[in-house]
Structure 1
Amino acid sequence: MTTNAWLPLLVLASSLIPGLIIFTLPEKAVAWRITLNLGGALLKILLLVLMMIGVFHGVNYEFRVPLVPGIDFVLHADALSLLFVNLSAVLWLATTVYAIGYLEDSPNRSRFFGYFSLCVTTTVGLAMAGNLLTFLVFYEALTLSTYPLVVHRGTEVARKAGRTYLAYTLLGGVLLLAGTIWLHALTGTLEFVDRGFVRGLDLDPATLRMVFTLLILGVGVKAALVPLHAWLPQAMVAPAPVSALLHAVAVVKAGAFGVVRIIYDVFGIEFAAELGVTLPLAVLAAVTIIYGSVRALFQEDLKRRLAFSTVSQVSYITLGVAIAGPIATIGGLAHLVHQGFMKITLFFCAGNYAETLGVHKVSELRGIGRRMPWTTAAFTVAAFGMIGVPPVVGFVSKWYLGLGALEVGQDWVVYVLAGSSLLNAAYFLPLVRAAWFEPPPDEWPHERNFGRKETAWMLLLPPLFTALAALAWGLFASMPGTPLDWVQFIAARKYGS
């Protein structure tokens, strides 16, 4: 098998180098900043296309150097990492376009876009981590690169949210570090392996359960599992592009991706089920799903409602992998991508409402579909997807999760999915109805003049693109090259088929 060590580094460098240069640019260097942002995003996608072609033809993409005695720093592109890296790259491009338009007249743009690029770099590095220690390095780097984005506005509310975010995520990092050290002491290795490197070793099951708990709690902070979720709604004080990035690409997805790696490539799904740790994790995910949906019902602030929706929706990923069946795994991993496109659409639309009309509250959405029809159409598609209405892609995720639960005799999961969908409908459908069918107010809270346009094109294009993708992947889910097609390949690998 041919090995290429440099392409993973180039994928990292395509966002790292532009980010470092952007830090040095003056605020007036708008053209340079846009060129570096968009150029880096497009280059990353091109490199990933080359990498996917290479993987298809049997090329092994791995970069390895010694990190500490006995453990290497490893970047490795496998099927699972490419799923997450491609999600990050495509949504980074969409969010970059959106952020350029959103922050057009804002201060400290070079600082913002510098950290923005570092955030994507650490997310991609985390996705390509070839062992648990490399994952931990990027996991902590992600915390440090996203904190300045959370507190970007510099208000006291933003600083308070940033302190909460740091307290939670650094605690998660400590737990993950403790579990990593303990696991290395037990096994002598931390290398990710299909079906897990822990299985087959003669180790005390009670000790392994404790290690598993530490690792899951460590990544569970970023995955917003109850009761480790409280930082997420507070982080909504950040600008809309940051909220979109945190919820759809970076932090919460990094946590969910960590859960996937620990279950499949550290313990192995069959061995984890034998240890008896998957069912409690599935129950915790189910509790989080219902809790987040119930809390979303009572949020008047639109972004906070979407934040609690994220608490609920991201746990579908954890639920899918913890059910311990190949069909449920397909649903959970597909939702990693599907939720990303739906949720980023919702946050783009919320940002458009705020930036164009000064609308921040649920009660202010009356008649907004008549003033901003294209934005509201995108919002409607994404909301229907979150509920699970076909043919939007959220239906595909829930369908496979339900079938997977029945496959392994976990019928109770179907009731959780049904209850969650009803709650999703309860907190999304009133917004859609008010937006389209109620009369608009005489004046909006703070309307900006875009002439005859609905809003700036750089604010409108990204949600239209992501909403269209969410709809297309639902309509053509079984076609080759879709996220569903790719995760079916991953599931076969993880279950040894």
Structure 2
Amino acid sequence: MALPVAVAIPLLACCGVLLLRHRPIAREAASVACGLALAGMVLALWPVAGQGLRFELWTWLPGLSLEFALEPLGLMFASVAAVLWPVTTIYAAGYLRAAQEPALARFFAFFALTIASAMWIALSANLITLLIGYELMTLATWPLVAHHGDAKARRGSRIYVAVLLATSIGLLLPAIVVTWVLAGSTDFRPGGLLAGQAGTGVLTLLFPLYLFGIGKAALMPVHRWLPAAMVAPAPVSALLHAVAVVKAGVFTVLKVAVYVFGLDTLRDSGAAEPMTWVAAFTLIAAAIVAIRSDDLKRRLAYSTVSQLAYIVLATTLAHEVAVAGGALHMVTHAVGKITLFLCAGAVAVAAGRTRVSELDGLGRAMPWTFAAFLTATVSIIGLPPTGGTWSKWLMLLGSAEAGQVVPMLVLLVGSLLAVAYLMPIAVRAFLRPPAGPPAHGDAPLVMTGPLVLTAIGCVALFFGADVVLAPLAATLELP
């Protein structure tokens, strides 16, 4: 029963928020309490990650059912969403009040609904169950992107939902249907559902259909929804980039590679090789756009596109160590990127600045905020003592062991480009003289506390990466 309860807790929070919509303190306290309960419950599942827990909701036809199952990749994604949900909720309460945002009850209700869809995706036992959760997440986040209600927000939300629905219905759904026809099932299976079920030509056509169909992974050219969604408030940006949406994308890529195709099948057939180059191009091109962007949220958005491409690139190498690095990067990037977006929101509220060129000297006025920003920057780049060190090391090691020299160089160049688009922000904030009127200090504690906590998480992952990867070791047969 633990698996459906993990989906039910955020649904309960959604109902509670609506019932308490006229009592803001009780409403947000209920949301945080549900978040803490979910985090505790999901973390308690780690000791049983390899025991094959399952829960069947409904069987339509043989090979088509709604079913939940617990496995290591899903537990990693569920843990990211569950742990970061209460942290983001606390921050959002402070941010939305400080920014005098409207319709807070609606915001927190859809926020909880998004987490419910993330739990659904993480615990899906097959492609059909996953697709339903995937589409529910798109619909749940649509009102959040359009939260401001002005013309810019409406336009951004239309692009957001159009790209994600077009890719999932036009590409992902047909890929799932083809898989069902070939294998007679949509269940996730160790070793790959399609292993021995299709020839090289079919696999080479089917794999790109999946990867472009998973629009939430933001591969170019289906990435446009991500920068368009930056019209949303900062807590929504954090939700999109760290807690749920893009992580649902790369998680689905990992699940498809490991449990639908199988790493041995991908490696032996070479079916993933064309997508290696698409991911490599996305990684470099998005980083270059980030460097050229003065708007802080836009720079962070393209940073996300580039960092997601790391995970996709590692997955397409079909090497166990590289895939483990990609899975770990799903976690380390989540904690690092949520810190960066929370810092961006704090700067906007406390200092009214949204452009990189306006941040000169601000680190002295907002030391906690920019210390957290610097910590997350180091993690995204992949330097010690932060968790990003290990995820990038494993991806590099896996590419080297696979004999993939060019992808390895792309990964290295990507980290150098990350230095170029993130480190100047901290340099400006701490080392340049102030630009414009001085800020009054850090944002309120309700906003500063969560971003400091997630920055500490970046460092904690440096020392706890082995714990995060332990359940996955048996699945990928890591040495």
Same fold? TM cut 0.5: yes
The CA deviation string for residues 292-323 of structure 1, in whole angstroms up to 9 with x for no partner, is 11000110100000000000011111112211
The aligned amino acid for 1:62 is R
Q: Residues 334-353 of structure 1: matches in 2 within 5 Å?
A: 334-353=328-347
Q: Residues 79-98 of structure 1: matches in 2 within 5 Å?
A: 79-98=72-91
Runs of 4+ in 1 over 3 A off after TM superposition: 53-56, 483-486
- The aligned counterpart of 2:402 is 408
Q: How far 1:190 sits from its partner (Å)?
A: 0.5
Q: Is the partner of 2:192 in helix, strand or coil?
A: coil
Q: Distance in 2 between matches of 1:151 and 1:32?
A: 25
Q: Is the partner of 1:195 in helix, strand or coil?
A: coil
- The aligned counterpart of 2:272 is 278
Pair 454,213 (structure 1): closer, same or farther in 2 beyond 3 Å: closer
The CA deviation string for residues 426-480 of structure 1, in whole angstroms up to 9 with x for no partner, is 1222211110011113415xx6x6xxx6221110011111111111222x2xxxx
Pair 46,430 (structure 1): closer, same or farther in 2 beyond 3 Å: closer
**TM-score when normalising by structure 1:** 0.92
Q: How far 1:55 sits from its partner (Å)?
A: 3.7
- Residue 254 (1) aligns with residue 242 (2): no
Q: How far 1:208 sits from its partner (Å)?
A: 3.1
The aligned amino acid for 1:395 is T
Q: Residues 67-216 of structure 1: matches in 2 within 5 Å?
A: 67-70=59-62, 71-104=64-97, 105-174=100-169, 175-201=171-197, 203-216=198-211
Which has the larger displacement, 62-71 or 424-433? 62-71
- Residue 431 (1) aligns with residue 425 (2): yes
The aligned amino acid for 1:154 is G
Q: Distance in 1 between matches of 2:465 and 2:136?
A: 28
The aligned amino acid for 2:179 is L
Q: Distance in 1 between matches of 2:344 and 2:231?
A: 13
**Residues 303 and 350, structure 1, Cα contact 8 Å, conserved in 2:** yes
The CA deviation string for residues 12-32 of structure 1, in whole angstroms up to 9 with x for no partner, is 111111102313433x31122
- Residue 490 (1) aligns with residue 472 (2): yes
- Residue 472 (1) aligns with residue 460 (2): yes
The CA deviation string for residues 322-373 of structure 1, in whole angstroms up to 9 with x for no partner, is 1122221221111010000000000000000001110100111000001100
Q: Distance in 1 between matches of 2:395 and 2:207?
A: 23
Match of 1:309 among 297, 303, 311: 303
The aligned amino acid for 1:140 is E
- The aligned counterpart of 1:3 is none
**Residues 195 and 496, structure 1, Cα contact 8 Å, conserved in 2:** no
Pair 227,159 (structure 1): closer, same or farther in 2 beyond 3 Å: same
Q: Distance in 1 between matches of 2:181 and 2:253?
A: 21
Q: Distance in 2 between matches of 1:259 and 1:281?
A: 12
Q: Is the partner of 2:216 in helix, strand or coil?
A: coil
**Residues 121 and 248, structure 2, Cα contact 8 Å, conserved in 1:** yes
The aligned amino acid for 1:38 is V
- The aligned counterpart of 2:367 is 373
Q: Distance in 2 between matches of 1:83 and 1:49?
A: 10
The aligned amino acid for 1:459 is M
Q: Distance in 2 between matches of 1:49 and 1:442?
A: 46
**TM-score when normalising by structure 2:** 0.96
- The aligned counterpart of 2:221 is 227
Q: Is the partner of 1:103 in helix, strand or coil?
A: helix
**Residues 236 and 307, structure 1, Cα contact 8 Å, conserved in 2:** yes
The aligned amino acid for 1:34 is E
The aligned amino acid for 2:399 is A
Q: Distance in 1 between matches of 2:308 and 2:478?
A: 26
Q: Is the partner of 2:53 in helix, strand or coil?
A: strand
**Residues 24 and 110, structure 1, Cα contact 8 Å, conserved in 2:** no
- The aligned counterpart of 2:352 is 358
Identity fraction in percent: 37
- The aligned counterpart of 2:380 is 386
**Residues 20 and 114, structure 1, Cα contact 8 Å, conserved in 2:** yes
Q: Distance in 1 between matches of 2:79 and 2:255?
A: 17
Q: Distance in 2 between matches of 1:487 and 1:322?
A: 19
The aligned amino acid for 1:467 is A
- The aligned counterpart of 2:231 is 237
Pair 268,140 (structure 1): closer, same or farther in 2 beyond 3 Å: same
Q: Distance in 1 between matches of 2:80 and 2:239?
A: 11
Q: Distance in 2 between matches of 1:210 and 1:417?
A: 25
Q: Distance in 1 between matches of 2:328 and 2:364?
A: 34
**Residues 152 and 158, structure 1, Cα contact 8 Å, conserved in 2:** yes
Pair 462,430 (structure 1): closer, same or farther in 2 beyond 3 Å: same
Q: Is the partner of 1:66 in helix, strand or coil?
A: strand
Which has the larger displacement, 252-261 or 98-107? 98-107
Q: Distance in 2 between matches of 1:54 and 1:276?
A: 34
- The aligned counterpart of 2:15 is 20
Q: Distance in 1 between matches of 2:435 and 2:144?
A: 34
**Residues 288 and 315, structure 1, Cα contact 8 Å, conserved in 2:** yes
Q: Which runs of 5+ in 2 are unaligned?
A: none
